[in-house]
């Protein structure tokens, strides 16, 4: 995927694949999508709930000190609070500072500490019982580096649970443009995790959404902030060509068009071995 919003056409695609995600652009696009995000984030909500189901299977004792990376508007946060009692402190991180004002958390929420900014460069305190993240880690520049950082900041026995998207994600967009994120495979990520954690679970699924038109696909992506890889714009003729080809190649049985998502899920535990530690909280 590689497109940005356009006032007339609705979306545009870029001509080159970025080596690294432009996080300033990512921040801008997610900020613009904040008001429409929860209505459009069908897959993100499903992914968050599935991640919590998997976490519950491996969470032996209630976590007290929790870090959520990429909290967004609180889809995962609210479900976490409702399903896991006993959390003493919840540290909420997001690249977009504005999201903090949109967090509508229940009255019985634990103490919340906001940690705005790029998780790859922010300093983290140690002593965490749980780190979790849904639909965020595919945007990272260096996943392996963050795994090392998180292993150091989790208590021995602490859990890391996250979902992100795999190589078949938005395959229709990639097929038409040749452009997209460099999504890592389940096998690659599992191997990285095993270097620092005990891997408890890894799985994936493919989910296909149906839309009335290619324009609706582009609108959906824009309204969830996913159009965050390029500042370039399409001409109207290029948009029309894209939509015609999309209908030709990816029409659904109901007369609409298909869009594929490919979520990957992981749950891992930090072992008793020695890691370079973060400061204790």
User: Could you tell me if residue 8 is inside a domain?
Assistant: yes
User: Could you tell me if residue 23 is inside a domain?
Assistant: yes
User: Could you tell me if residue 222 is inside a domain?
Assistant: yes
Q: How many domains does the chain have?
A: 1
More confident residue, 150 or 235: 150
pLDDT at 204 over 80: yes
User: Could you tell me if residue 183 is inside a domain?
Assistant: yes
More confident residue, 277 or 77: 77
pLDDT at 9 over 90: no
| Band of residue 205 on the pLDDT scale cut at 50, 70, 90 | very high
User: Could you tell me if residue 276 is inside a domain?
Assistant: no
What is the pTM for the complete model shown?
0.88
User: Could you tell me if residue 139 is inside a domain?
Assistant: yes
- Domain carrying residue 232: 3-269
User: Could you tell me if residue 275 is inside a domain?
Assistant: no
Q: Mean of the per-residue pLDDT values for the chain?
A: 86
User: Could you tell me if residue 117 is inside a domain?
Assistant: yes
3-state secondary structure the chain: CCEECCCCCCCEECCCCCCCCCHHHHHHHHHHCHHHHHHHCHHHHHHHHHHHHHHHHHCCCCCCEEEEECCCCCHHHHHHHHHCCCCCEEEEEECCHHHHHHCCCCCCCCEEEEEECCCCCCCCCCCEEEEEEECCHHHCCCHHHHHHHHHHHEEEEEEEEEEEECCCCCHHHHHHHCCCCCCCCHHHHHHHHHCCCEEEEEEECCEEEEECCHHHHHHHHHHCCCCCCCCCCCCHHHHHHHHHHHHHHHECCCCCEEEEECEEEEEEECCCCCCCCCCCC
CATH number at residue 211: 3.40.50.150
234-240: average pLDDT: 87
What is the pLDDT at residue 230? Answer: 54
């Amino acid at each position: 995927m590689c497109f940005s919003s356009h006032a007339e056409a609705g979306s545009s695609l870029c001509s080159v694949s970025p080596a690294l995600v432009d996080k300033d652009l990512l921040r801008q696009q997610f900020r613009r999508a904040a008001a429409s995000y929860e209505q459009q984030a069908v897959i993100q909500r499903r992914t968050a709930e599935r991640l919590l189901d998997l976490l519950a299977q491996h969470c032996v004792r209630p976590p007290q000190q929790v870090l959520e990376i990429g909290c967004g508007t609180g889809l995962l946060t609210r479900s976490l609070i409702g399903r896991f009692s006993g959390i003493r402190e919840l540290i909420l991180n997001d690249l977009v500072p504005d999201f903090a004002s949109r967090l509508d958390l229940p009255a019985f929420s634990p103490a919340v500490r906001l940690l705005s900014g790029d998780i790859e460069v922010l300093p983290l305190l140690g002593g965490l019982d749980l780190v979790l993240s849904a639909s965020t880690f595919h945007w990272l520049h260096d996943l392996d580096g963050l795994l090392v950082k998180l292993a150091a900041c989790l208590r021995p026995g602490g859990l890391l649970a996250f979902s992100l998207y795999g190589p078949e994600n938005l395959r229709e967009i990639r097929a038409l443009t040749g452009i997209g994120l460099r999504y890592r495979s389940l096998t690659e990520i599992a191997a990285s995790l095993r270097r620092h954690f005990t891997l408890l679970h890894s799985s994936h699924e493919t989910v296909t959404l149906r839309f009335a038109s290619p324009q609706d696909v582009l609108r959906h992506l824009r309204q969830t902030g996913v159009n965050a890889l390029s500042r370039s714009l399409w001409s109207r003729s290029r948009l029309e060509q894209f939509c015609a080809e999309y209908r030709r190649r990816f029409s659904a049985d109901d007369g609409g068009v298909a869009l594929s998502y490919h979520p990957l899920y992981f749950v891992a535990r930090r072992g008793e071995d020695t890691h370079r530690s973060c400061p204790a909280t």
